[in-house]
Amino acid sequence: MRLATWNVNSIRTRIDRVLGFLEREDIDVLAMQEIKCKPEQFPHQALEDAGYELAVHGLDQWNGVAIASRVGLEEVATGFPGQPAWAKDESASPVVEARALGATVGAAGQQVRLWSLYVPNGRELSHPHYAYKLEWLAALRQATGQWLAAEPELALALVGDWNVAPLDEDVWDMGSFAGATHVSAPERAAFAAFEQVGMREVTRELVDGYTYWDYQQLRFPRNEGMRIDFVQASAALAARVSGAAIDRFERKGKGASDHAPVIVTLR
């Protein structure tokens, strides 16, 4: 099985590139983040014509997650237990944002419980969104621990845009991130804490490189990027990983997302 995760930064803008990527890389399952649309606005037909089933979770023109699978798609869940809500301002009611979508994919005997995740950005260390981000990651870790406690042999994958650079080498220049989000000690600790409940990030040992480059200031040509897109796997799933890749091609050229797809191959 070829499984990929990609922050597409608007599926309606990127649909042709998504279709080309799926065919070129022979992808069985694609987890998408930042689709930026409601389910009724999603380009279902194009992906269904290409042989994929879809699960889509979007509330407005922001955030949004989706899963496309040509190897089965069932047990869809929008949001994980305990997922925190966010209020855009003091006058708004808190809303559980469209940032997490789960589904079971794969043939019988080879199924994977997959979550497409778009972790909150955090904005600034002093911003309420930063506290929301840490709360969000803590709640996801707790839910993950409960899933694995109930089913220790579960082939579980938490994939997506984590908005955390866990190591100094995951940003082009740590000096440029002094006092910034993504590299703070609490965020890195929150990411590392998934190991305590039985998860392991499985791409780093197989492939080097960044997964995100800002559109501004020629970041991509200068390779001034960040590694913030990851695949956290349970022990049962990690044992099946035979390869990984970061598809830099999809960050090149006209109409590219600011993220590159991350691919894992499963035995």
pLDDT in tens, 36-48: 999 999 999 999 9
Going by the DSSP 8-state scheme, the letter that residue 222 receives in this structure is: T
pLDDT score for 90: 80
Known catalytic residue at 247: no
Q: Which one is catalytic: 28, 52, 132, 259?
A: 259
pLDDT in tens, 44-82: 999 999 999 999 999 999 999 999 999 999 999 999 999
In sequence order, which residues have a C-beta less than 8 Å from that of residue 97 and are 6 or more positions away?
Answer: 59, 62, 63, 85, 86, 120
Band of the pLDDT at 92, cuts 50, 70, 90?
Answer: confident
3-state secondary structure of 180: coil
Known catalytic residue at 161: yes
Q: Which one is catalytic: 28, 130, 161, 212?
A: 161
* pLDDT for residue 88 is more than 90: no
In sequence order, which residues have a C-beta less than 8 Å from that of residue 210 and are 6 or more positions away?
Answer: 170, 172, 223, 225, 226, 227, 246, 260
Kindly state the average pLDDT of the residues 84-112: 94
Q: Is the Cβ–Cβ distance between 27 and 3 less than 8 Å?
A: yes
Q: Which one is catalytic: 28, 52, 57, 118?
A: 118
Q: What letter represents residue 250's amino acid? A: E
Asked whether residue 57 is marked as a ligand-binding residue, the answer is: no
* pLDDT for residue 245 is more than 90: yes
In this structure, how many other beta carbons lie within 10 angstroms of the beta carbon of residue 10?
15
pLDDT score for 243: 98
Entry pTM: 0.98
Q: What is the residue range of 150's domain? A: 2-266
pLDDT score for 65: 98
Band of the pLDDT at 222, cuts 50, 70, 90?
Answer: very high
Asked whether residue 63 is marked as a ligand-binding residue, the answer is: no
Q: What letter represents residue 140's amino acid? A: L
pLDDT score for 265: 98
Band of the pLDDT at 166, cuts 50, 70, 90?
Answer: very high
Six token digits for residue 135? 């709360």
Number of domains in the chain: 1
Asked whether residue 258 is marked as a ligand-binding residue, the answer is: yes
| Residue 38 CB burial class (10 angstroms; 0-12, 13-18, ≥19) | middle
Q: What is the DSSP string of 117-171?
A: EE-----STTSHHHHHHHHHHHHHHHHHHHHHHH-TT--EEEEEE-----SGGGB
CATH of the domain at 229: 3.60.10.10
Kindly state the average pLDDT of the residues 198-205: 98
Q: Is the Cβ–Cβ distance between 114 and 29 less than 8 Å?
A: yes
Six token digits for residue 207? 């492939």
Known catalytic residue at 129: no
Which residues pair with residue 224 across a beta bridge?
none
Kindly state the average pLDDT of the residues 213-235: 97
The continuous run of DSSP H or E covering 236 comes out as: helix 235-238
pLDDT score for 224: 98
- The contacts found for 178-182 with CB under 8 angstroms, 24 or more apart, are 179/125, 180/124, 180/125, 181/121, 181/122, 181/123, 181/124, 181/125, 181/130, 181/133, 182/122, 182/226, 182/228
Whose structure tokens read 């894992």?
A: 264
* pLDDT for residue 193 is more than 90: yes
pLDDT score for 91: 84
